[in-house]
Amino acid sequence: MKPNETSLNTQENKSMNQHEEDDHALFSMETPLRADAFELDDDLKIELIEKHFKEIMQILGLDLNDDSLKGTPHRVAKMYVKEMFKGLDPKHLPAAKLFENKYQYKNILIEKNISFHSVCEHHFVPIIGKAHVAYIPGNSVVGLSKLNRIVRYFAQRPQVQERMTMQIANMLKDVLQTQDVAVIIEADHMCVAMRGVQDITSSTITTEFCGKFQDSKTREELMRLIKLEA
């Protein structure tokens, strides 16, 4: 996946409309974006979202003249564009400078328990979790904070956990110039906890094992190091 690409998967959208709202069976590797997704600047997006969110609040019967509520449409719009969904725009893709692997370190390198907040694209409620990212360096290594930033970049958009896991792995393979990458995500979905079955105890784990991590012994070592059952 190329990070600066945007695509419109028409067939996927048609298929998703034919399935129930909670169906995770079909999803594209890329976040579904219209071809004109970046034609509006951020200020105009905020203005338009503020207008429409105000209408939603009015439909719900809320009194927007109340001091506590009158600024909410603008706050929500600004939060969507500048914070929660800023990862939709490729201009926020974190730069990842590589460094020579001078020590010739050839073992597993793990950045564990990377916390993130995302949003379920089916109900627009939070996904709260942590990611474990691992790779086996070749000739280059990358600053550890860049692994966190890549996770956050893909989290800051409406998401499906399966897709997010693969997006992070693909980006890491491209940035690190190695196939030996693994991504494990553990997350709580508020669409499960707050609505529907209202289950507050379950969590979801997704994995993507590439290159040497497809070998059972390497994968078992990784799972032992992050203390998950293999």
CATH 3.30.1130.10 fits 98-225, yes or no: yes
pLDDT of residue 229: 56
pLDDT of residue 96: 86
pLDDT of residue 126: 97
Where does the chain hold its CATH 3.30.1130.10 domain(s)?
A: 98-225
- Lookup: tokens for 64: 């927007």
Confidence bin at 78 (pLDDT 50/70/90): very high
CA-based torsion, 228, 113, 168, 26: positive or negative: positive
pLDDT of residue 11: 34
Average of per-residue pLDDT values in the chain: 89
Distances (CA, A) of 227 to 24, 133, 181, 206, 230: 27, 14, 18, 15, 9
Where does the chain hold its CATH 1.10.286.10 domain(s)?
A: 10-92
Beta bridge partners of 158: 119
Confidence bin at 29 (pLDDT 50/70/90): confident
Digit-coded pLDDT (tens) for 103-118 = 999 999 999 999 999 9
Residues in the chain, total:
230
Name the residues annotated as catalytic: 120-123, 161, 189, 191
Question: What homologous superfamily does CATH list for 10-92?
Answer: GTP cyclohydrolase I, N-terminal domain (1.10.286.10)
pLDDT of residue 23: 45
Digit-coded pLDDT (tens) for 60-70 = 999 999 999 99
Q: Which of 189, 38, 51 minimizes the C-alpha distance to 122?
A: 189
Beta bridge partners of 99: 141
- Do the beta carbons of residue 171 and residue 3 sit within 8 Å? yes
Digit-coded pLDDT (tens) for 195-213 = 999 999 999 999 999 999 9
- Do the beta carbons of residue 208 and residue 182 sit within 8 Å? yes
Digit-coded pLDDT (tens) for 121-135 = 999 999 999 999 999
- Do the beta carbons of residue 100 and residue 14 sit within 8 Å? no
DSSP, res 57: H
Comparing 15-19, 30-34, 224-228, the range with the smallest average pLDDT is 15-19
